Structure formats: C-alpha cells, structure tokens
Amino acid sequence: MVSSYQKHRKCGNWIKLACIRENIALGNSCDFWYNSSQAAQEVKMDIKKLKTQYLEYLEIEKDRSQKTIENYDHYLERFLAWARISSPSDITDDLVRSFRLHLNRQVDEKGRPLKKITQNYHVIAIRNFLKYLARHDVKTLSADKIELGKTLRMEVEFLESEEVDRIFEAAAGSDLKTFRDRAILELLYSSGLRVSELTNLNRDQVNLKTQEFSVRGKGGKIRVVFISDRAKNSLQRYFDKRSDIDPAVFARIGIKRLEKKDKADNSRLTPRSIQRIVKYYALKAGIVKDVHPHTLRHSFATDLIANGADIRSVQEMLGHSSVTTTQIYTHVTNKQLKEVHKAFHGKRRK
C-alpha cells in the first residue's frame, strides 16, 4: 500500500496516517477509531465515484472535448457493468483479460465481430483510468501490465476524381437546399474537414476572399484549412441565397431562428444530417461504394498524395497529431512505384 496509509494490526483496515496522528494527539482510542464505520467508509473508495472524478479531470485539467469524454465514459461504463466491481482494488490482470476475451467474442445482429480498433479503444480507456488512479495513490492494477492488441492496417476507401465529379453534378439545382448541399460536398472535398468541424462552422469564420480559415479540431488543436475556387463559388452562391441571420454555416432549411440568445441552436445541421446528405447524392450519382463524409476527407488526402504533395504538408492540412496516421494514404497510391512497375515489369515477354 502507499506510504500515506497504514494497515492496522488488529482489524486489518487501511487507515490514513494523518487521521491516526490527529486522533492520537486528541487522546482518542486508536482501537476505537480503527474499527469505526467512519474509517471504513473513508478508506473504501467507490469506483463509480472515481470514474466520475476521472471524467471531470479529462474535462478540466486535460481539456478534452465533450465527445472524447463521452467515449471514455461509454468504454469505462461498459467495463464496469460487465465486471460488477465496486472497488479499484478489484481490478486485476485476470479480470481485464477476461473482459478483452468478452469483447473479442462479441458479435452484432449480423454476426460481425467487434473491430479490433474498437476493442483497443476500450483497453486505452481502462489503461488511462488506471494511470489516473495510480497518480492519486489509489491501490489498483498497474497500467503497465496492460498491452494493446495488434490491429490491422486501416483500409482507406476513397473516390476517384470522376466519381467525385459525379457526386457534385448530382447536386444540381437553383433552390436554397441544393445550393447548401452542393456547398457541403464541395467544402468537405476541398478542405478535408472532419464532419464535426464542418457542422461547428460559423459564417464569420469563413473568409471567402482569402479562401482560408481556422478550425478547432481534435484535442482542441487549431489549424488553417484552405478551399478551392470551386468550393468558394459554391459557398458564395449559397450565402447569397440565404436571407436568415443564423450564425451556422450549414443550417436546416425553413427553420426560423429565434432572436433570443439564450435559446438552443437547434437549426444547425448535425453530423448525422451531413452523413445522410452525402449518402443521398452518392446514391443519386450511382456510386456503389459506401460513401460517407469521411470518404471525401480520404479522397482529399489521397488526391494530394497522388499529385505529389509531401506527407508533412498533408499531415498539417488534415490536422493529424502524428505523421504515422497520415502515412496510410501513401499505401493507397504511389505514382513513382507505378511508373517503375510500368517501365520494368514484363519486358521479357513477347
């Protein structure tokens, strides 16, 4: 046990040394205090309460996004609900191993197993929670004893230039909704924005004159994104057509925004709404791939790499904290290797 506690020789409880000294100074009976229910309640640490404190730590000290906190809450709650434990000391190597087996054997209604990367998200949440407990002198399993599982390299699905053009052409029309949807598609492909970054955009952020603006991405990191002439023109047509004063770049059509500042911003499009819009125009264009907003982000990155952009620049534009994440796109297409293959393969065949 940590040095700030001492185990009593009679009752076996772990007692805070500071409290022991205080009671001795006051002349109280140590045996009485050791066996009191108050001491037992103080020493016994409820894991649910510790989890809540950890999530508050992520919010305040680590400044994590609300989505990250929600994800950690989900993964930890799933573990605790399965484990049915009440104290951090109940977390053992065998318990974590059994939970990982449970995750690995889970299947959905279609018989598909839980993805390895999703399984690792659970393990990462547990491991970071254990690190937090250790820093606060809470007796539990060491985080170093938990290793992440090996994951397969992520397979990137992207659109060819011809497929991108078909999706854009599918969003043809002169009404406000079509102008909005076309601007969404053009902006996603032109800037490589994440869907959450897109939905959080306000009109005063977007500078069409310079064709660049700042966004706050994962982990609160700010980066500059750039837009093409075609995306600029689509946004300009959409803005010119709007007559409302809603600050959101992309809002629902036909919703009258309330003037009061304290009212909820319920007219802003959600990530789910953007996903439906992208999927609708992909189907309308006859694209057989499973297209979603991130597919356009993948297509943006792949297009840059294929045309000779250096990996570090692409990393900056995507907002990746590690270049390792960006390197997945170098395996999708490599013009130099393609040229070598074309120049030297099969030359001996007649």
* Residues known to be catalytic: 194, 218, 294, 297, 320, 329
Kindly state the DSSP code that residue 251 receives in the 8-state scheme: B
Whether residue 189 contacts residue 296, with contact meaning beta carbons closer than 8 Å, is answered with yes
Q: Which of 78, 149, 76 is nearest to 116 (CA)?
A: 149
Q: Which of 131, 14, 28, 140 is nearest to 4 (CA)?
A: 14
Q: Which of 122, 124, 134 is nearest to 50 (CA)?
A: 134
Please name the residues in contact with 327: beta carbons below 8 A apart, sequence gap of 6 or more: 311
Whether residue 118 contacts residue 75, with contact meaning beta carbons closer than 8 Å, is answered with no
Residue 105 buriedness (CB in 10 A; 0-12 / 13-18 / 19+): exposed
Residue with tokens 């037992």: 40
**Which backbone phi and psi does 302 adopt, to 5 degrees?**
-65, -40
